[in-house]
Amino acid sequence: MSEALNSDLWVDQYGDMLYRYTLVRVKNPDAAEEIVQVTLLAALQAKQSFQGRSTEKSWLFGILKHKILDHFRELKTRRTYELSPEDGSDPLENAYQSDGHWANAPKNWDTDPHKAVENKQLVAAMAQCMDRLSEKFRNIFVLKEIEGLTSEEICKEMNIKPTNLWVILHRARNQLRKCLETHNWDTKK
């Protein structure tokens, strides 16, 4: 009886938080929902092993992170990480003159990493730009930049050649850069 009460509480207290955290990473709402469910299921079954050394919340997030990684591992069997036309081109492919100098130099954004993360408009723009990446690019970018996996780990988990990984990340970053430049965000904010 008390177990049923607890699991209801978990959904009410942590459900939305777990869902939002997952949605940033996997983008697809149905997949995110599914991942939250398997996480809470696994937590319920592992309740005995929760020894109260961390908070309940960080324990649940620990399980969630594993389930998200499982999700990316599953995806790799269903898709190839070879480049395809749907991934788009490198926006900087023709950005240089024949002598290697910039033809269209990047404009200064008048911000820096510390200020940028405090700028709500810019953070929102980044979320939108990430959603515009191809699924393949978005997954790899998330694993590298958000989950913080090393290149070796990503190559191993997702079965990608290092050269492919490097091209994907480079192109994704350039696409994000270009996308952010087309958004409006006030640098004074």
Of residues 92 and 158, the one with the C-beta less far from another protein: 92
The distance between the two most distant Cα atoms of the chain, rounded to a whole number of Å, is 74
User: Does 186 contact another protein by CB under 8 A?
Assistant: no
Q: How far apart are CA 126 and CA 137, in angstroms?
A: 14
What is the pattern of x (binds another protein, CB under 8 A) and - over residues 71-110?
---------------------x---x--xxxx--xxxxx-
Residue from 48, 114, 182, 188 binding another protein (CB under 8 A) = 114
Q: Is 64 within 8 Å of 18 (Cβ atoms)?
A: yes
Determine, following the binding rule CB under 8 A, whether residue 68 of this chain makes contact with another protein: no
What residues numbered 131-170 form the site for another protein, per CB under 8 A? Answer: 141-142, 144-147, 150-151, 165-166, 169-170
Which residue, among 87, 188, 69, 80, has the nearest Cα to 133 in the 3D structure?
87
35 contacts another protein (rule: CB under 8 A)? no
Residue 93: CB minimum distance to another protein, A: 10
Shortest distance in whole angstroms from residue 139 CB to another protein: 13
| Residue ranges in contact with another protein by CB under 8 A | 3-4, 7-8, 10-12, 15-17, 19-21, 23-25, 29, 33, 36-37, 40-41, 44-45, 61, 92, 96, 99-102, 105-109, 111-114, 116-117, 120, 122-124, 126-127, 130, 141-142, 144-147, 150-151, 165-166, 169-170, 173-174, 176-177, 180
